[in-house]
Amino acid sequence: MRLASVVLTMITLALTCLAESAPAVFLKDSEVFVRDAQSGTVRQLTNDGVPKRLLAPSGSGSRIAFVRDSPGVLADVITMRIDGTGTREIRFRPTEATVLVGMRFVEILKWIADSRFALAGSLDPSTCEYAVIDADSGAEIGSYLTDGFSLVVSPDGNHVAYIGQIPHFMPEERRRPQFCLDDECVFDQPYRGFQRSGAHLEYRSSAIWSPDSSAVAIAANDYESDVESAIVRRLAGKHLQFTAPTEGHLHLSWDDRALVVLAGNQTWRLDPGRETFIRLK
């Protein structure tokens, strides 16, 4: 077994043990509770009777956040440590403030790292916004406009991939969705994502990051021919587009740092640092 595979196995086992030992948090009768994974003991963390939603633990399980009903703001976000200490209230976007472009309401709360989380909501039936919040200061430190809820955070929490927003009600044949990384597709500025040519690709899968956060892949369909391809974007290196010479939907997955593409009854593999796919069977 390769050293990389041994290391990945050890990391997987460690994360599995951590998940099994992490306490579980849940909402009941408008209050937040935590259940110890070892003893099964349940402890109540809030006791205010105010309706709450979107309860989410951070990746390490050390912190939680949730939205509490409160007038005057788009969302009243409460963060705290898993033991109930360190409570912070973050009043996200007071309703009297002028926001030229932004979500109408908060529909998603997801942690990016133990110190950052994102709030997401729709602007219209097709466009969404993700606002990145510093969990310690409450400051809004970033924002992404996306086509649908397409933003995916890298495993290390340092990068994002998403489909850049497209003006609502644009005729389908005029759409040119772009597969974007980080700040490539900032609102009201020229997009620098993939695809920059005149080709019309529709991205039909969620983006998937490599375990080491060095690359991200997504499946796409050509609008004219309906031919499927795999798009690979590396943080260091040029992007790749691979069309398997066979019929059938593409299924993408990562094997350590190698991308595996299943196409019909064929399997293809892209190894780290290579620019060509190798057929396995």
Q: What is the DSSP letter of 23?
A: P
Q: Which of 220, 280, 217, 279 is nearest to 254 (CA)?
A: 217
Would you say 67 and 52 are in contact if contact means Cβ atoms under 8 Å apart? yes
Would you say 244 and 233 are in contact if contact means Cβ atoms under 8 Å apart? no
As a CATH number, domain 3-149 is 2.120.10.30
In this predicted structure, what is the pLDDT of residue 194?
A: 86
What is the end-to-end Cα distance of the chain in Å, rounded? 21
Sort 243 into a burial class: Cβ within 10 Å, 0-12 / 13-18 / 19+: middle
Would you say 113 and 157 are in contact if contact means Cβ atoms under 8 Å apart? yes
In this predicted structure, what is the pLDDT of residue 228?
A: 93
The two three-digit tokens of residue 124, written as one number:
């219209």
Cα distance between residue 146 and residue 130, in whole Å: 8
Helix (H, G, I), strand (E, B) or coil at 184: coil
Amino acid at 10: M
pLDDT along the chain (281 residues), means of 10: 40 45 86 92 95 95 96 96 95 81 92 95 94 96 94 94 90 89 83 80 95 97 92 92 86 96 92 93 74
Beta-bridged to residue 94, according to DSSP, are 73
Beta-bridged to residue 67, according to DSSP, are 53, 77
What strands lie across the sheet with 63-68, from one edge to the other?
A: 52-57, 63-68, 73-81, 88-94
Q: What is the DSSP pairing of strand 152-153 with strand 140-147?
A: unpaired
In this predicted structure, what is the pLDDT of residue 99?
A: 65
In this predicted structure, what is the pLDDT of residue 250?
A: 94
Domain boundaries, the chain: 3-149
Would you say 178 and 194 are in contact if contact means Cβ atoms under 8 Å apart? yes
Helix (H, G, I), strand (E, B) or coil at 257: coil
In this predicted structure, what is the pLDDT of residue 120?
A: 98
102 CA to centre of own chain: 18
Name the pTM for this structure: 0.85
